[in-house]
């Protein structure tokens, strides 16, 4: 059980890293892109805008901590 | 070689070089204080495990439908890239201490010396395990990058070759210097890798989710410089903020 927990912790650290909000934000942005593209609208701008927003917020939080 | 292939090779080469430098520091430290044979055996076994992982996961990943592959890989690359870029920006702006290979080497030396007596002629368990773990953990990110970049471009061979070149160059430099590669501009390399992973993540993630880039593949030629420019602008903004803060540049290093 401890090994399982350690492995889960390792996976979390490996994939999510220092700021879980980035991982969550990317997942949400991909979902929005899929929904907008599925509706036939232009969707290429969503991920770049989300990337800038996520990085800015994450850096701001680190700088003001 | 196409532009995408150059991007693939360059990203894998730089990412692998950074991770290889970090793994080399650990192997050198335990090898020189404990037992070279054990440290090199640990490194060799870890490389075999990494090669086996690449061989096992590579065909499975390439068998996925391209749309699924691109959205999953694009998302993961974007998360990875943003984490690398975040750290590199914080380090470049002075908000986080720079990665110091000499300090890490000294810490590993002290830990290895304090880990009890070295065994006789057999394998020294400490040296083996530390080298094995160090190479395996640093190598996993490289395996991920090799597989995702390679699978997306249907060129795992090129990605693996770029990784092998990076490892060979770093090991040759380590043998020549006979010490940790403290002069490698690690943060600059991580910054570049972060920009590349983020850019490819944005591109593939959007395509995988059903979006279409104006100009197709050529959009990457705009995404990469724009990402780089924004990251540099963020470094400049954070540096200005640091300089304006009470206590100046020393206030937040190590945060």
Residue showing tokens 């070689």: B1
CA angle B181, B193, B227 (to 5 degrees): 140
Whether A37 sits inside 8 A of B252 (CB atoms) is no
Whether B214 sits inside 8 A of A44 (CB atoms) is yes
Residue B15 corresponds to which tokens in the numbers above? 């990412």
Give the closest-approach CA distance of A17 to chain B in angstroms.
7
Residue B179 corresponds to which tokens in the numbers above? 């010490």
Q: Of B33-42, B51-60, B161-170, B206-215, which one has max mean pLDDT?
A: B206-215
The band of B255, judged by pLDDT with boundaries at 50, 70 and 90, is very low
Q: Of A12-16, B47-51, B111-115, B176-180, which one has max mean pLDDT?
A: B47-51
Q: What residues of B are in contact with residue A37 (Cβ under 8 Å)?
A: 209-212
Tens digits of residue pLDDT in B195-242: 999 999 999 999 999 999 999 888 988 999 999 999 999 999 999 888
Residue B118 has pLDDT above 80, yes or no: no
The mean pLDDT of chain B is: 83
Residue showing tokens 């490819």: B200
pTM > 0.90: yes or no: no
pLDDT at B250: 47
CB B91 within 8 A of CB A62: no
A31 vs A37: CA distance, rounded Å: 10
pLDDT at B247: 62
* Beta carbons within 8 Å of B25's beta carbon, 6+ residues apart: B101, B104, B105, B108, B180, B181
Q: What residues of B are in contact with residue A44 (Cβ under 8 Å)?
A: 206, 211-214, 219
Phi, psi of B99 (to 5 degrees): -70, 120
Quote the ipTM score: 0.91
pLDDT at B229: 96
The band of B124, judged by pLDDT with boundaries at 50, 70 and 90, is confident
Q: What is the mean pLDDT of residues B48-77?
A: 84
pLDDT at A49: 97
Nearest CB to B83; choose among A22, A29, A44: A22
């Amino acid at each position: 059980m401890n090994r399982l927990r350690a492995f889960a912790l390792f996976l979390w650290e490996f994939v999510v890293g220092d700021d879980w909000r980035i991982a969550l934000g990317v997942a949400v942005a991909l979902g929005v892109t899929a929904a907008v593209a599925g509706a036939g609208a232009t969707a290429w701008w969503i991920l770049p805008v989300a990337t800038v927003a996520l990085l800015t917020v994450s850096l701001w939080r680190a700088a003001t901590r | 070689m196409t532009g995408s292939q150059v991007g693939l090779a360059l990203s894998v080469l730089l990412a692998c070089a950074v991770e290889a430098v970090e793994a080399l520091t650990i192997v050198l430290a335990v090898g020189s204080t404990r037992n070279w044979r054990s440290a090199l055996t640990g490194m060799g076994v870890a490389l075999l495990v990494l090669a086996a992982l690449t061989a096992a996961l590579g065909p499975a990943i390439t068998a996925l439908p391209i749309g699924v592959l691109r959205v999953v890989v694009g998302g993961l690359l974007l998360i990875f890239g943003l984490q690398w870029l975040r750290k590199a920006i914080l380090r470049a702006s002075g908000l986080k201490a720079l990665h110091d290979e000499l300090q890490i080497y000294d810490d590993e030396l002290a830990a290895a010396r304090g880990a009890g007596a070295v065994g006789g002629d057999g394998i020294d368990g400490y040296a083996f395990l530390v080298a094995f773990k160090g190479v395996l953990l640093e190598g996993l990110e490289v395996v991920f990058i090799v597989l995702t970049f390679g699978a997306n471009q249907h060129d795992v061979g090129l990605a693996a070759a770029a990784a092998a070149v990076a490892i060979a160059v770093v090991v040759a430099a380590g043998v020549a210097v006979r010490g940790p590669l403290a002069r490698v501009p690690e943060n600059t390399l991580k910054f570049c890798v972060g920009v590349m992973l983020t850019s490819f993540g944005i591109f593939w993630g959007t395509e995988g989710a059903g979006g279409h880039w104006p100009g197709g593949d050529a959009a990457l030629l705009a995404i990469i410089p724009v990402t780089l420019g924004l990251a540099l602008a963020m470094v400049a903004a954070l540096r200005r903020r640091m300089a304006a803060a009470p206590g100046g540049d020393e206030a937040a290093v190590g945060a």
